[in-house]
Amino acid sequence: TAELEYESVLCVKSDVNVYRIPPRTSNRGYRASDWKLDHPDWTGRLRVTSKGKTAYIKLEDKVSGELFAQAPIDQYPGIAVETVTDSSRYFVIRIQNGTGRSAFIGIGFMDRGDAFDFNVSLQDHFKWVKQETEISKESQEADTRPKLDLGFKEGQTIKLNIGNMTTKKGGAAKPRVSGSGGLSLLPPPPGGKIAVPPIPPTSSTAIANHVTPPPVLKSSNMNSSDILLDLGTPVPVSKAPATTDLWGDFSTASSAVPNQAPQQSNWVQF
């Protein structure tokens, strides 16, 4: 499993100073003021990587990338990485070689922001390790618990009570519009128009629309030339009293015309 895990880079800082530190004489912690800060023992590049749940602090050469020292970290904060008591830019790390020998050295950053990034990268990694451990622990506990058999047995049925559900046939009733006088009227159809009743004409309009009846011929035995002469002479029409009936004059005119002989087909009867 360890061979299948890949290595990821968490943080890279191009400038880091390495110091030889004196052994700690008390339990109060390390102090950076006890180191020779103006004369670092080594200067190079720092990379923080992770492989699985273990993080690694690697000190490498800036140009060639050759590994100078490496510090594996199993937990943070812990004995593998400690902060000093008098500064936030310096740390004490425990380096190890391939044979298992270890030593404590001091590292420091010139920029306070680089020290902050280094600290946060380790915190984020081990926060993720803690979450993964809790998730795997919960999954193992779930596997050991007895599983509930919620499946249906052979011949077992289930009945569902949906409740009082009323079904309506047809569409919903159209809303009624309450008109004046308490009458309920149906709304007009969509897109329809209400026809307005026509207004009856006044007496002056009826007189203006009066149609003059056709002229009456003098005699039924007159020839065609007399008919043409009579067309130019208007026949006096007796003035009828004004009436509100628009069609009364037509009935009077038809009764006043005597029976006429059939006319020739070459002329139009007026």
Dihedral (CA of 62, 65, 70, 76) sign: positive
**Residue ranges of the domains in the chain?**
7-138
Average of pLDDT values for 208-220? 51
Q: Which two tokens stand for residue 28?
A: 């109060």
| pLDDT tens column, 248-269 | 555 554 444 455 555 555 555 5
pLDDT class of 229 with cuts at 50, 70, 90: very low
Q: How far apart are the first and last CA of the chain?
A: 121
Quick one: pLDDT at residue 99? Answer: 81
| pLDDT tens column, 196-206 | 566 665 555 44
Distance CA(259)–CA(252), nearest Å, equals 15
Mean pLDDT of the chain: 74
| pLDDT tens column, 130-184 | 998 888 888 777 667 677 777 777 878 888 888 766 655 555 555 555 555 555 5
Instruction: For 7-138, give the CATH class.
Output: mainly beta
Average of pLDDT values for 92-119? 91
| pLDDT tens column, 25-75 | 777 788 898 898 999 999 999 999 999 889 999 999 998 989 999 999 998
**Residue whose C-alpha is closest to residue 102's, from 61, 126, 67, 73:** 73
